[in-house]
Chains A and B, each alone.
Chain A
Amino acid sequence: MSMIHVTTTVNGDEVEFLCDPRETLLDVLRDRLSLTGAKEGCGTGDCGACSVTVDDRLVCSCLMLGAEAEGKSIGTIEGMADGEALHPLQEKFIEYAALQCGVCTPGVLVATEALLKKNPDPTETEVRYWLAGNLCRCTGYDKIIRAVLDTAADLRKAS
């Protein structure tokens, strides 16, 4: 099987890799680029644990091929904090205990950041529907939703 050469941008850095045409973007991120923040919870687009952004669009990286990343700009959980300064969402998730096991957390955070970029003032219902593709089995979502709504309010006040 011949490999495909791909040049892309991940969290602002230019990256090159070789991949099998069958490998997903998630496989490439995790196995070839050692970015294991995105998780495989299902591999079928149902859990959102693998959420990343591709040219600022939220996608399930398990549903996209690695080869399709050519020329794109990928954002992962590893790029969310600015150096040692956590993103306000990350701060709030810790403060509110919006995670128990934390395996869904990278996907939830990436999805939420994308939501707040589009809609800085979402209602509870809008947050719940936006996150309906991110399964969390531990929390019952209550603390996640509160963390998102309160971060959004803080960010609005700050801007």
Chain B
Amino acid sequence: MAPDGNMTNGFKVVGTRPKRPDGIDKVTGRAKFGADATAPGMLHASIVRSPHAHAKILKIDTSKAEALKGVKAVVTRADFAEGLTGENWNILENVMASDTALYDGHAVAAVAATTALGARDAAKLIEVEYELLPHVTDVDKAMADDAPVIRAGAADKSVPEGLHPNVVRYHESGHGDVDKGFSEADLVVEDSFKTEATHQGYIEPHACLAQLGSDGKGEVWCCTQGHFNVQKVCAALVGTDSSQIRVTPSEIGGGFGGKTVVFIEPVALALSRKANRPVKLVMSRSEVFRATGPTASTSIDIKIGMTREGKITAAQGVFRLQGGAFPGAPMEFTAMCAFAPYSLENVHQVGYDVMSNRPKQAAYRAPGSPMAAFAVESVIDELCNKLDLDSIEVRLKNASKEGTKASYGPKFERIGLVETLEAAKAHPHLTSPLAEGQGRGVSCGFWFNHGGETAVSLALSEDGTVAISVGTPDIGGSRASMAQMAAEELGIPYESIRTTVADTATLGYNEISHGSRVTYASGLATIKAARDAVKKLCGRAAAKWGIDEDAVVWEDGCAKPSGPNAGDFEPLPLAKIARSMGRTGGPIVGHYEATPEGAGVSFATHIVDAEVDKETGQTKIVRYTVVQDAGKAIHPTYVEGQFQGGAAQGIGWALNEEYIYGEDGRLQNSGFLDYRIPVASDLPMIDTVIVEVPNPGHPYGVRGVGETSICPPLAAIANAVSNAAGVRLTELPMSPPRILAALDAQANG
């Protein structure tokens, strides 16, 4: 019979570091990304966007554009489905404005022409008449009494009476009695924090190639984290059935949450339907910045009480998140993650989802958690400094463990926070000397991780090799990990397995590659699909030997009699059974479809040394160490890569990256020159320690690793910079002007 239950050691392939299957394609330029596809008769499209932060659209005149040579179709909101409600209405409103432009960059029309240059020329000829409306882009100002209303009636029932209509959702959670807790503290520290919006900054702009016929049948090729979601949303927005649209995901040039959202595919489909030709639509970098998902910006108040011995007696937080011109800022995640690392008797958190005239926020790696950690861990650092306590010891003293009632409600199962803190404590980084002008910071971070709808199929070939089809786009090497897990189960070499990200017509619905779910959920489904295939393989052997199925076991890639009583038969290798499968019952395919719910939460502890130049306000990160619980690292090199990538993005967010809006409500830095993500010369090597505390919800113990790595950096760096500068930094990014202002304010008392 197939093996069952958890195995946590004795792995042969899991935990090794094989070459990725798409390696050669990626280093030779052959890999096909979103913008690399073409089709016969293809048109190119361009989108017209509002230059205003908030304006009524009075009139759109497309006649000049339509008269231009080579122009084949123009679409506006009238060319999309009518009568949508709920989230579909929100998405359509964002994809193509109806009567009001809600932010600088909001799409108002689109055009398709025979050449890319022609489409851009035509877009310039589309005349839009606007009536300017008052706008607001700052979260605190958007909540103030005199703020312009973005959309009346957008608030849901959770919002208490008396709040501004821009507050559209409200969250409250916690337990115990915080007032009582604060009264038991020897010291209470309270502070307020702000973080600016940042962009996911994937290097590949959104791109798609789409075709839609008047019969409602369509094809889409695009770079996305979730093609099944693209299928569902596109069908709704253009008014056809999901099953009529087939979506094939291209290779994806980074997403980090930003490609979980649909922006351009419905536009290309609508243009294609009108022109009756395939349409390619590729965003420019400036469109990516102006109109796709940045994070929420935040304004946060934190209050924490602590005893002289370092025990936290109470903690409370207020989290205001600005998520652009639509509901959905992840304020409940922010509130729920904020105090999750700590075992608290008294904790209370409040969240506000606030609308403003900015692009609709999108998920960015552990959405909402990094900002919470920044505020909370800064206050903990301040308490440690004031009470003269060791920051790791304080965290250990208060750390959440198995059985702790989490700040957001449930009881934790087996978790690895203490193990990451112990590993950090033992790391030479923590005791290495600091040079003049340098400061050290540590921080913990938390993310839930996610399971979600998942379907995998695993087909045997007659030559004994295996093809796995998964429905989760490979955003970080997951095709390698899937093949490793299948190789482990089947007992055949890694190289004999090829994993493909299948299109929407091939598999059942798969949720988006988000929530650090792929190695966990598609991995679990791959293991179960392999076990399903093994069961069938054992069945074929049993039939051949004329014994009971239960008397056959699978070991080292072979079916074997389960013991002397089962009979004496030569082991049957997979390849041998596969060769005759056509004659012994037909193709052998293992599959698994489910919504796994055992994604284990994960924690990390980061250590960082920063050097601050007090003359210029410039900060240099001189040393960085990531310690994170991976549950079980399937491919340790890719796990390290996730740790390093998250830390690097965190460094950018902490020090440099921000959305800058002018008085006119326009984004002032919509390019990589002015929105500067970390470059190679900005960063040190990033040291990693993989901690493995198995997740009981996965057969091998896997926890997601992609997101937790960005939770601690903002806080760890803020602590390092504050310790180096001798003044507490409470606003991100800690760019040179902000650091100089903080130093000035301190000098002037």
Listed in ascending order, the chain A residues whose CB lies under 8 Å from chain B are 20, 22-23, 27, 30-31, 34-44, 46-47, 49, 76-78, 80-81, 86, 90, 93-97, 99-106, 109, 125, 127-129, 131-146
Interface: B660 (CB within 8 A): no
Q: Which residue of B lies closest to A131 (CB)?
A: B680
Choice from B27, B116, B640 contacting A31 with Cβ under 8 Å: B116
Task: A102-B31, A138-B254 given; name 8 further pairs at CB < 8 Å.
Answer: A46-B673, A80-B29, A93-B23, A102-B253, A137-B201, A137-B254, A138-B645, A143-B641
- In whole angstroms, how far apart are the Cα atoms of A145 and B673 in the complex? 22
Q: Does B648 contact A (CB under 8 A)?
A: yes
**Most A-side CB within 10 Å, residue of B35, B203, B255, B648:** B203
26 A-B pairs whose Cβ atoms sit less than 8 Å apart in the complex: A30-B35, A34-B38, A36-B29, A38-B29, A39-B35, A39-B204, A41-B672, A42-B285, A42-B671, A42-B672, A44-B672, A46-B285, A46-B671, A47-B203, A100-B254, A100-B476, A101-B203, A102-B251, A103-B251, A106-B27, A128-B680, A137-B649, A139-B645, A139-B648, A141-B683, A145-B685
Instruction: Give A22 to B121 CA distance when docked, in angstroms.
Output: 12
| Proximity bits, B167-203, A CB within 8 Å = 1, else 0 | 0000000000000000000000000000000001111
If A40-B35, A132-B681, A135-B679 touch, whether A94 touches B23 (CB-CB below 8 Å) is yes
Within 8 A of A (CB), among B116-139: 116-117
B contacts with A: majority SS: loop
Given A128-B680, A140-B647, the answer on whether A102 and B30 have CB atoms closer than 8 Å is no
Q: In the complex the two chains form, is A100's CB within 8 Å of B477's CB?
A: yes
Complex: chain B residue closest to A90, CB-CB: B27
B26 interface contact, C-beta 8 A: yes
**Is B603 interfacial (CB-CB < 8 Å)?**
no
Cross-chain contact A44 with B116 (CB below 8 angstroms): no
User: Is the CB–CB distance between B204 and A103 below 8 Å?
Assistant: yes
Of B29, B115, B204, B678, the residue contacting A77 (CB under 8 A) is B29
Smallest CB-CB separation from B22: which chain A residue? A102
In the assembled complex, the CB of A58 is this many whole angstroms from the nearest CB of chain B, namely 15
B33 and A103 contacting across the interface, CB-CB below 8 Å: yes
Q: What's the least CB distance linking B33 to chain A, in Å? A: 6
Q: B204 and A140: CB pair below 8 A?
A: no
Does B673 lie within 8 Å of A49, measured CB to CB?
no
Task: Decide if B24 touches A20 in the complex (CB within 8 Å).
Answer: no
B284 touches A (CB below 8 Å): yes
Most chain B C-beta atoms within 10 Å of own C-beta, residue among A31, A42, A104? A42
Residues of A within 8 A of B116 (CB): 27, 31
Q: Which 7 A-B pairs have the closest CB atoms?
A: A37-B29, A103-B253, A140-B648, A102-B26, A140-B644, A94-B23, A46-B672
Interface residue SS majority, chain A? loop
The distance in angstroms between the C-alpha atoms of A77 and B32, with both chains bound, is: 14
Q: Is the CB of A23 within 8 A of B251?
A: no
**Given A39-B253, A49-B203, A137-B203, does the pair A94, B679 have CB atoms closer than 8 Å?**
no
Cross-chain contact A36 with B36 (CB below 8 angstroms): yes
Size of B's binding interface in residues, CB under 8 A = 59
What is the CA–CA distance of A136 and B256 in the complex, to the nearest angstrom? 13
CB distance from A102 to the nearest CB of B (A): 3
| Mask: chain B, 17-46; 1 = CB below 8 Å from A; 0 = not | 101101110111111110110100000000
* B539 touches A (CB below 8 Å): no
**Interface 0/1 of B659-670, CB less than 8 Å to A:** 000000000000
A-facing residues in B668-713 (Cβ within 8 Å):
671-673, 677-683, 685-686
Q: For A94, give the chain B residue with the smallest CB separation.
A: B23
Known contacts A137-B677, A138-B645, A139-B645, A103 near B203 by CB under 8 Å: yes
- B252 within 8 A of partner (CB): yes
Bound together, the chains give a CA A38 to CA B638 distance in angstroms of: 24
Give A108 to B316 CA distance when docked, in angstroms: 46
Question: In the complex the two chains form, what is the Cα distance from A36 to B252 in whole Å?
Answer: 14
Residue B584 at the A interface, CB < 8 A?
A: no
B255 to chain A, nearest CB (A): 8
Shortest distance from the beta carbon of A135 to any chain B beta carbon, whole Å: 6
B115: A residues at CB distance < 8 A? 20
Cα–Cα, bound, A102→B22 (Å): 9
Interface flags, B474-487, vs A, CB<8A=1, else 0: 01110000000000
The distance from the CB of B238 to the nearest CB of chain A, in whole angstroms, is 27
CA distance A17 to B17 in the complex (A): 44
Closest A residue, CB atoms, query B28: A81
Please tell me if B205 contacts chain A, counting CB pairs below 8 Å.
yes
| Most chain B Cβ neighbours within 10 Å, of A38, A44, A129, A137 | A137
The answer to whether B681 touches A78, judged by C-beta atoms less than 8 angstroms apart, is no
- CB neighbours (8 Å) of B254 from chain A are 100-101, 103, 137-138
Chain A residues within an 8 Å CB radius of B28: 37, 77-78, 80-81, 86, 90
- From A94, A125, A146, contact of B19 by CB (8 A): A94
Question: A20 near B117 (CB under 8 angstroms)?
Answer: yes
Closest residue of B by beta carbon distance from A36: B36
Question: B63 in the interface, Cβ–Cβ < 8 Å?
Answer: no
Kindly list chain B residues whose C-beta atoms are within 8 Å of the C-beta of A133: 679
| Residues from chain A with Cβ under 8 Å of B30 in the complex | 37, 78
- From A23, A103, A128, residue with most partner B Cβ within 10 Å: A103
Option from B33, B117, B637, B678 in Cβ contact (under 8 Å) with A23: B117
A138 to B255, CA, bound (A): 9
User: Could you tell me if A100 and B27 are in contact, using CB atoms closer than 8 angstroms?
Assistant: no
Of B29, B200, B285, B645, the contact of A43 (CB 8 Å cutoff): B285
Q: Is the CB of B253 within 8 A of A101?
A: yes
Rounded to whole angstroms, the CA-CA distance of A49 and B680 in the bound complex is: 14
Name which residue of chain A comes closest to B284, CB basis: A43
Docked pose: A31 CA to B27 CA in angstroms: 20
Q: Nearest chain A CB to B19's CB is how many angstroms away?
A: 5
Residues on the B chain within 8 Å of A141, using CB: 648, 678, 680, 683
- Please, which residues of chain B bring their CB within 8 A of the CB of A46? 285, 671-673
Q: A69 CA to B43 CA in the complex, in Å?
A: 26
Contact yes or no, A76 B203, CB < 8 A: no
Whole-angstrom distance between the alpha carbons of A125 and B159 in the complex?
Answer: 53
Q: A134 and B680: CB pair below 8 A?
A: yes
For A141, give the chain B residue with the smallest CB separation: B680
Contacts of B683 in A (CB 8 A): 128, 140-142
Residue of B200, B251, B677, B680 with most chain A CB atoms under a 10 A cut-off: B680
How would residues 445 to 486 of chain B score, 1 for a CB under 8 Å from any chain A CB and 0 otherwise? 000000000000000000000000000000111000000000
